[in-house]
Amino acid sequence: MQIARRGLAALMLTPLAQRLARPALAQSAWPERPIRLVVPFGAGGNLDTLIRIVSPSMSQRLGQPVVVENRPGAGGNLGTENVARAAPDGYSILVGSNGALVNNPLLMARLPFDPARDFAPIGLGFRTPNVLVVAPRFPAQTLPDFVAYAKARPGQVACASAGTGTTNHLLIELLNAATGAGLLHVPYRSSGAATPDMLSGALASSMDQITTALPQHRDGALKMIGIGLPERLASLPEVASFAEVGLENGGLTSFIGLLAPAGTPAGPIAKIQAAFSAALADPALRQRIEAIGNLIAKPEEQTPEGFNRVIESERILSRRAVQLAGLKPE
């Protein structure tokens, strides 16, 4: 018996045994170094703001620094590709949204990554509704009146977006199809870029993210009259849902979630998902997030399976909107 024990101990000291044991040890010890959350846009935007609100809480729960890294460029493609090509070890995580994951594959003929093949969803974190905003002196100041006014003047009522192929542009197309409003799409260079023209009265309306439009709505400079959700928000009961004028489920929303490179082990994904969901459940953080107009994802959407279903649903709806707009991959 003693000889057998000595033999087993000797075996455990061999290089082969040590190599075989190393994956299990690494798995249990993960994370052993900082984790980077790659934001594929510049600092200061809504996506960047949201992930910086929750990253300190995630760091506390994971026991390692969670570092936000901005890698802007090519409509989100540069940062997205960076994570797609990273080692699948859980230390490089994408903060993903509609643009690179849904819209760009429908509109760009060549992408350096495949969202469905190259990523493993971790969990959805936030939804950012898009809203229809009108100038203060525009004749129609409710959503039904606005639709009726536009239908009587097809192609004459301009509605701005943050650019061709963006989520708010695609929502304009879905609203036109559902209501027959015949809005004239006017692409601007970014979210909020149309605000000066709205304030001057040179532009009738705009489809914008709620986070951009909410300050002007609250101070009365502009007026939100419609929101891309299945029902009205309790915090904004005066703003009608697009579902009220016939757009099924209110149309598209902008989403933000975490994804790992494909092939990342289940252990790190589960730990990141648990830390992310715990941060989202913190009442103080929720209050900060909702105060600027964002919505926390439902618990069932915060799982890998739930987030994957959200992405697939958005792909179907966005593909339809792209077809309605007559857009082709370039």
d(CA 115, CA 117): 6
Domain 34-127+254-325 has CATH 3.40.50.150: no
For residue 52, with 0-12 CB atoms within 10 Å meaning exposed, 13-18 middle and 19 or more buried, which class applies?
Answer: middle
C-alpha 20/C-alpha 12 separation (Å) is 10
Give bridge partners of residue 123 from the DSSP assignment: 258
Candidates 45, 49, 50, 51; CA nearest to 75 is 45
Q: Which CATH class is domain 130-250?
A: alpha beta
Find residue 207's DSSP bridge partners: 132
SS3 242: helix
Spacing of C-alpha 320 from chain mean position: 19
pLDDT in tens, the chain (330 residues): 444 444 444 444 444 444 444 444 344 589 999 999 999 999 999 999 999 999 999 999 999 999 999 999 999 999 999 999 999 999 999 999 999 999 999 999 999 999 999 999 999 999 999 999 999 889 999 999 999 999 999 999 999 999 999 999 999 999 999 999 999 999 999 888 899 999 888 999 999 999 999 999 999 999 999 999 999 999 999 999 999 999 999 999 999 999 999 999 999 999 999 999 999 999 999 999 999 999 999 999 999 999 999 999 999 999 999 999 999 998
Closest-CA residue to 206 (of 228, 219, 218, 224) = 224
**Residue ranges of domains in the chain:** 34-127+254-325, 130-250
Is the pTM higher than 0.85? The answer reads yes
